[in-house]
């Protein structure tokens, strides 16, 4: 169960992020003091230590910073292999790990991607990224 991997970690700090995904919104954070974006969710800015942080919906667009085709996976992912995991750099400048959807032989670093919301298990929605059509 993929949900088991995250469920116990969800708390007041991360709940708005996970709730956002259920409503097909990708929430990141913005610091009003240093005007920089933040991911993953925190209650204190890792750039300037300000607590003037607010949630903001990401545009959901970005590009592939790196990726790998996973051939040997573990646990609940074992049967899904091969699949593509990558680090996405959102247009806002923050990076996040995600799955990349598309022809795995065509995927390349720097390709543009946009978010899609995938219900991977009942009540667990994840942001995946789809390679944009050229």
Partner 1 sequence: MKSDRIAAIVGVAESDLGKTPGKNVLQLQAQAAKLALEDAGLTKNDIDAVFTAGNWAWAPNLMLAEYLGIQPKYTDSTNIGGSSFEAHVGHAVAGIKAGLFEVALITYGSTNKTNPSNSMFKSPLTAQYELPYGLPTPVGAYALAAMRHMHQFGTTSEQLAEIAVATRKWAALNEKAYMREPIAIEDVLNSRKIADPLHLLDCCLVTDGGGAVIVASSNVASKLNKKPVWILGHGESHSHNTIANMPDLTVTSAVESGKRAFEMAGISHDEIDVAEIYDSFTITVLLTLEALGFCKPGEGGAFVSGQRTAPGGDFPMNTNGGGLSYCHPGMYGIFLLIEAVRQLRGECSSRQVENAKLALVHGTGGVLSSTSTVILGGD
> Can you give the binding site for Zn ion, defined by CB under 5 A?
31, 33-34, 45, 47-48, 50
Single residue of 30, 56, 120, 130 touching partner 1 by CB under 8 A:
120
What are the helix (H) ranges across 1-134?
A: 2-7, 15-22
- Please name the helix (run of DSSP H) or strand (run of DSSP E) that holds residue 115, with its range, or none: strand 112-121
At closest approach, how far in Å is the CB of 129 from Zn ion? 26
The interface with partner 1 within residues 8-47 (CB under 8 A) comprises 8-10, 14, 39-40
At closest approach, how far in Å is the CB of 132 from partner 1? 19
Single residue of 5, 44, 48, 59 touching partner 1 by CB under 8 A:
5
Distances (CA, A) of 105 to 45, 83, 84, 100, 132: 38, 11, 10, 12, 15
Q: Please report the beta strands in 17-94, taking only residues with DSSP state E, as ranges in sequence order.
A: 27-31, 37-38, 53-57, 61-70, 83-90
Q: Interface with partner 1 by CB under 8 A: which residues?
A: 2, 5-6, 8-10, 14, 39-40, 65-77, 80, 83, 85-87, 95-99, 108-110, 120, 124, 126
């Amino acid at each position: 169960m993929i949900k088991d991997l995250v469920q116990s970690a969800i708390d007041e700090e991360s709940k708005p992020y996970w709730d956002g995904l259920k409503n097909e919104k990708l929430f990141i954070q913005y610091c009003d003091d240093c005007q920089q974006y933040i991911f993953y969710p925190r209650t204190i800015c890792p750039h300037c230590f300000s607590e003037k942080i607010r949630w903001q919906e990401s545009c959901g667009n970005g590009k592939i910073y790196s990726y790998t085709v996973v051939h040997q996976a573990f646990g609940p992912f074992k049967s899904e292999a091969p699949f593509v995991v990558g680090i996405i750099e959102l247009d806002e400048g923050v990076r996040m790990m995600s799955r990349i959807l598309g022809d795995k032989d065509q995927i390349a670093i720097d390709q543009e991607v946009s978010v899609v919301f995938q219900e991977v298990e009942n009540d667990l929605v994840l942001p995946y990224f789809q390679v944009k059509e050229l």
